[in-house]
Chain A
Amino acid sequence: MIALAAILLSDLFAVVMLFGVYSLLTAALFMDLDAVDVAFTEAAVGAGVTTVLMLSSLHLTRRWEALPRRKPLLGLLVIGITGAALVYAVLDAPLLGDPTAPVHQHVTPRYLEQGAEEVGVPNLVTAVLASYRGYDTFGETVVIFTAGLAVLLLLGIHEDARMRPGVSAIGDQVVLRSVVKPLLPLILIFGLYVQFHGDFGAGGGFQAGVIFATAFVLYELVFGEGSARAVVPPGWLHRLAALGVLIYGGVGVYSLLAGKAFLDYSALATDPVHGQHLGILLVELGVGIAVFSVVLLIFYAFSGRSRRQ
């Protein structure tokens, strides 16, 4: 329903807001399907960061879609054929909740049974993410870093004279300032909690990095760009992003130098389970730092760009 409305509307502001609602509903659906970590990430990233970035780019481009649209016939034909093929394929799919589905047969029982002892961490998603499938997560961190690089190349971070600390478009709003100021430390503490508690409950590096970045985005929205850039200068963010990736890669290289495989955490301590704990801690820290700095960097790039008429 929301998807249909998003297609048919031409006011892009409404489309972006509906997309935020769609992301939130998807996060609720994930909660219902027992995927708590994924729901957390989707809510923080999809309904938070993506909406803010899209609104910034709407401000920099156009709010309204140019009508009349093209003829929809060819597009409908293509999706009709593709949709029919997909529905035919889906009829063979394993039913919802079926424990004999192929997903649960091969690697999953090993993770479920031996994950808690081998890795020593109750949150199996963190165990698989940071330990069993650590290479993929390293690749993902590098992808985020590359995206930050790409946005920097495309947009750059502008500092001009309008951005003085204390100047803000909505800075005279007493209610907003007095509510947001005490709220920010709480958001940051929550981000730290999610980062370090990710071993035991839902959470981990990605969610924590995004929450940390959202606190600073909120600060920039209410108090102005100058104040935000005085608190976290853009030059730091470049270095922090690189530092995050470096920590992750550094753990891997240290394992190599200690004589084992890349990202083999048993090289970090004498007791393998301790090594796993230490490895996961360092790796999640690297991921959190990288995600935080790249998200904030992208936001700085978008918000510093002025409309050139």
Chain B
Amino acid sequence: MMVILEWLSGLCLLLGGVLCITGGVGLLRMPDFFSRVHASGVTETLAAPLLLSGLLLQMELSLDSVKVIMILILVLATNPTATHAMAKATLHGGQRPLEFANDKDIGGDGLSKP
């Protein structure tokens, strides 16, 4: 049982680290604002909770683990909201996603800026 927990926790931590790296690479290399914001959203919403649950599996149930659970719920709740707010603000400012903007057939208006 303990061995399964340790393996699971190691897997979560490893996966969380890999997602952090891909999120960072995506933030730097994606061509368009909206894909970049999606990359950072993945880092925050999936990688951070995975790392936290990896740590959680290594702790025994105590006050500290309850605090980590609360932090996990907070992170899961606030980060998608922040990503949504950023994307909506950009749309409000006039930018459009890359593909649709330059293709007039689908109703784009050429307003995209990478």
User: Which residues of chain A have a CB within 8 Å of any CB of chain B?
Assistant: 173, 175-176, 179-180, 183, 186
Contacts and interface: CB of A to CB of B under 8 A. Distances in A.
Give the interface SS of chain B, mostly helix, strand, loop or mixed. helix
- Closest A-B pairs by Cβ, 6 of them: A179-B81, A175-B84, A176-B85, A175-B81, A179-B77, A176-B81
B88 interface: yes
B95 to A, nearest CB: 16
Contacts, number: 16
Contacts of A173: 85, 88
A176 B74 CA distance: 14
What interface size band does chain B fall in?
A: under 10
Contacts of A183: 74, 77-78
16 contacts: A173-B85, A173-B88, A175-B81, A175-B84, A175-B85, A176-B81, A176-B84, A176-B85, A179-B77, A179-B78, A179-B81, A180-B81, A183-B74, A183-B77, A183-B78, A186-B74
A183 B78 CA distance: 9
Interface string B68-97: 000000100110010011001000000000
Nearest to A178: B81
Contacts of B84: 175-176
Contacts of A186: 74
A180 B81 CA distance: 9
A223 B89 CA distance: 16
Given A175-B81, A176-B85, A183-B77, 13 more contacts: A173-B85, A173-B88, A175-B84, A175-B85, A176-B81, A176-B84, A179-B77, A179-B78, A179-B81, A180-B81, A183-B74, A183-B78, A186-B74
Nearest to A222: B85
Contacts of B74: 183, 186
Nearest to A186: B74
A173 B85 CA distance: 9
B74 to A, nearest CB: 8
A183 B82 CA distance: 13
A7 B85 CA distance: 29
A183 B79 CA distance: 13
Contacts of A176: 81, 84-85
A197 B8 CA distance: 34
A51 B31 CA distance: 28
Nearest to B88: A173
A70 B98 CA distance: 39
A186 B75 CA distance: 13
Contacts of A179: 77-78, 81
A183 B74 CA distance: 9
B67 to A, nearest CB: 10
A176 B88 CA distance: 11
A214 B84 CA distance: 21
Contacts of A180: 81
B54 to A, nearest CB: 19
